[in-house]
Chain A
Amino acid sequence: MNRETRFWTVMFLGGCLFLAFQSLGTARGVGQQFVVRVDATTGKIIPPATGASDASSAVKTVIYEPASKDDPEAIWSFSRTAGIWIAALLTLCIFSYLYRDNVCYKLAESIIVGVSAGYWIVTNFWEVLVAKVLVKLAPNVARYSFLPDTPVDVKADYLYIVPVVLGCMVFCRLIPKIAWMGRWPLAFVVGTTAGLKLTSFLDADFVRQVRSTILPLVVFSANASDVSTLDWKQSIQNIVIVISVLSCVTYFYFSVEHKGLVGRISRVGIWVLMISFGASFALTVMGRITLLTMRLQFLFDDWLGLVRI
């Protein structure tokens, strides 16, 4: 056993001993989760079952809501406790990448690839294929199976067979002889996106941005006695915005060589962009640190229960 293996073995055993102590030696335990049983139809809390004749066994639609351990009606939840443990171990697996690429990290990575693919397929199945396609093509089937709130007077709209057929044509790409048919749905998606984005980008990201840049360079504001005075703060702000946008746009204008006056203006544009990137970098770092803090809070509070408030 080399020195490195010995170090990590000692660390692992130390961690296990600490977890064992926390689990058995403290009142809060490690990752213990408690819930109350609630009747989904009435919203009333169901007291913990006391025997076979208990009235709560007659309730068919029970949901579980998180509760404090001290709540007299709270019961220990195996699934949520196991969930906290699994989430904590997976978090540590991901953090282990900071040391180097290893089996634990790859395991967590493989899990997330499978889970995220499955997650989006399931979400789209219920939100699009059932909520849009099934409701449009067979509203009665939708009402009697998954969506009882579907209005009774909804008529079937068989025009929606077209996108289903188009969608199924995507799978033609898997058969080389008819792979060319797979281009039709792709063309539909690309055409729709191009048409939608052309107008929306032109409106939101071009016209509105240009309009927002056309600002008064000298701003006067009325004070309490209704006398208008120079609002130098707002004026400076507007001047800086207008000059900055114009210089940045000049920098992005490549049809003219950046020499002389154009070169000097585009240089100011680079400075503005650098300041903008510096601020964006700082905001990104802060966002990531906030996420990191939340993960550490999860580990030390939700899982280990070390945080005392």
Chain B
Amino acid sequence: MSKTVPVLIASIVGCIMIVANFSPFLLPARQIAEDWFTIVATIAMMLGGANLCVHHLKNISDREAGWGFSAVTLISFFITIAVGLLKIGVVPESEQQVKFAWSGPFQQEGSGFWWIYQYLFSPIVSTMFALLAFYVASAAFRAFRAKNLEAILLLITALIVLVGQTRDREITSLFLPPPAEGMPQHVPIADLTEFIRKTFVTAGQRAIMIGIALGVVATSLRILLGLDRSYLGGDE
């Protein structure tokens, strides 16, 4: 019972989604199911927030190593939620909405929530991604060795595409002497990059996408037929 009902729910809802793709009569049902999905997923996200609080409160109460950082996490979490939910600094945006104090958009420029996004969220996230530039370069320096044909192909392509995107992309060749009279010109690096992108990259990505699609279809069918129940977890 504890597993049969969920499997039935997953199968029925999944089948409605598939059939709705082929039948216009079921399109409203598909739209409603999509809305419901968003709502359930949103409320599930609240559970994620509750778990975050429980985990960090436990760290603090047990005085575990680094509990101070847990306190920082909780403080920043609650401040963000309070500022966002109370719409601190948000003002109505039109003459008709002046009497509705909470009617302004929660991400309005100049509001508290906007400030948090602009000066806390965005800089930290983009710097963390920027940091990867150093680690990718360092890892490449350590790992890239032209040991065999595959590695040589990877290295040369990376070099061509890297140069092809710089401001010197119009250069005709990499340290090659100019061609002799009557001989065809060297292919510009930018053109070569474009050719690689249009052919080999497209082909490689396409093959990977086809593989992923077949994998997703197989996994979805296993879930809808009740063959894969791993998402239900162990017995409770």
> Residues of A at under 8 Å CB distance from B?
35, 40-42, 60-65, 79, 83-84, 86-88, 90-91, 94-95, 97-98, 106-126, 128-129, 132-133, 144-148, 159-160, 162-164, 166-168, 170-171, 173-174, 176, 179-180, 183-199, 201-202, 204-206, 209-210, 212-213, 237, 240-241, 244-245, 248-249, 251-252, 269-286, 288-289, 291-292, 294-295, 298
Contact = CB atoms under 8 A, between A and B. Distances in A.
Contacts of A146: 100, 102-103
B3 A280 contact: no
Contacts of B38: 128, 132
29 contacts: A40-B91, A63-B109, A91-B124, A97-B131, A106-B69, A112-B120, A113-B77, A114-B77, A118-B76, A118-B79, A119-B80, A120-B45, A122-B106, A187-B6, A192-B17, A194-B220, A196-B17, A205-B210, A209-B213, A249-B207, A271-B149, A272-B200, A277-B154, A278-B153, A278-B154, A278-B158, A285-B136, A291-B129, A292-B133
B80 A40 contact: no
Q: In the complex, which of the residues A159, A174, A185 has the most CB atoms of chain B within 10 Å of its own CB atom?
A: A185
Contact of A112 (B121, B208, B216): B121
Contact of A113 (B39, B73, B96): B73
Query: A-side binding surface: helix, strand, loop or mixed?
Result: helix
A120 B208 CA distance: 31
Interface in B62-106: 66, 69-70, 72-81, 84-85, 91-98, 100, 102-104, 106
Given A115-B116, A209-B209, A271-B153, A125 B85 contact: yes
B108 interface: yes
Closest 9 CB pairs of A and B: A195-B17, A276-B204, A167-B43, A118-B80, A122-B84, A278-B157, A248-B207, A114-B76, A191-B10
Contacts of B171: none
Contact of A191 (B12, B95, B106, B161): B12
Nearest to A118: B80
Contacts of B100: 144-146, 148
B211 to A, nearest CB: 5
Contacts of A42: 95
Nearest to B125: A112
A115 B39 contact: no
A238 to B, nearest CB: 9
Contacts of A205: 209-210, 212-213, 216
B136 to A, nearest CB: 6
A280 B200 CA distance: 11
Interface residues of B, number: 137
Query: B-side binding surface: helix, strand, loop or mixed?
Result: helix
A122 B208 CA distance: 36
B132 interface: yes
Contacts of B44: 167, 170, 185-186, 189
A195 B224 contact: yes
Contacts of A162: 36
B117 to A, nearest CB: 7
B18 A195 contact: yes
Contacts, number: 419
B175 interface: no
A119 B109 contact: no
Contacts of B18: 195, 198-199
B113 A281 contact: no
B35 interface: yes
Nearest to B106: A126
Nearest to B11: A191
B156 A278 contact: yes
Given A41-B98, A183-B232, A288 B35 contact: no
B150 interface: yes
B23 interface: no
A90 B157 CA distance: 36
Contact of A213 (B42, B72, B200, B206): B206
Contacts of B129: 288, 291
Nearest to A243: B203
Given A248-B203, A275-B196, A79 B115 contact: yes
Nearest to B53: A117
Q: In the complex, which of the residues A240, A249, A274 has the most CB atoms of chain B within 10 Å of its own CB atom?
A: A274
A195 B77 CA distance: 34
A145 B206 CA distance: 49
Contacts of A110: 69-70, 72-73, 76
